[in-house]
Amino acid sequence: MIHAIAILLAMQLVGEGLARLTGLGIPGPVIGLVLLAVLAALSPKLRKLVEPVATTLLGHLSLLFVPAAVGLIQHLDVFASDFWPLIAALSVSTLLTLIVTALVFIGVERVLPPAEAAGKEQS
């Protein structure tokens, strides 16, 4: 278990280091997660080691939002003064996310064969 946690933290550290060195604008933990996913795909042994700890952490993911909620409460005055710009930004970004997700889904659907046809080909 300690080894798995050390691997998760090491991937986050490597990702953070790469983010700072390269200046890509991608958060370090995201880079670390992609690296971990690639390594786990290449090494089933690594996946088996990290999977139980990752599953446990995901089971308690809601606890990780508590610090963010406390930060929001501490800055209510900022939210009150910039309420409408924040609402506009959230609305536009949510709409753009939905549009991009739909376009990616349509693109993937065009590339992959339909489920019915794939099932008939395997028979």
DSSP string, 51-74: HHHHHHHHHTGGGGGHHHHHHHHH
Q: How many domains does the chain have?
A: 2
> Could you list the pLDDT tens digit for every one of the 123 residues in the chain?
899 999 999 999 999 999 999 988 888 989 999 999 999 999 999 999 999 999 998 898 888 788 888 888 888 888 889 999 989 999 999 999 999 999 999 999 888 877 665 555 555
Domain extent for 25: 1-59
* H or E element at residue 15: helix 2-22
> Same structural domain for residues 42 and 82?
no
> Same structural domain for residues 44 and 100?
no
> Same structural domain for residues 71 and 97?
yes
> Same structural domain for residues 1 and 55?
yes
> Same structural domain for residues 14 and 54?
yes
Q: Which of 11, 29, 59 is the last residue of a domain?
A: 59
58/46 Cα distance (integer angstroms): 18
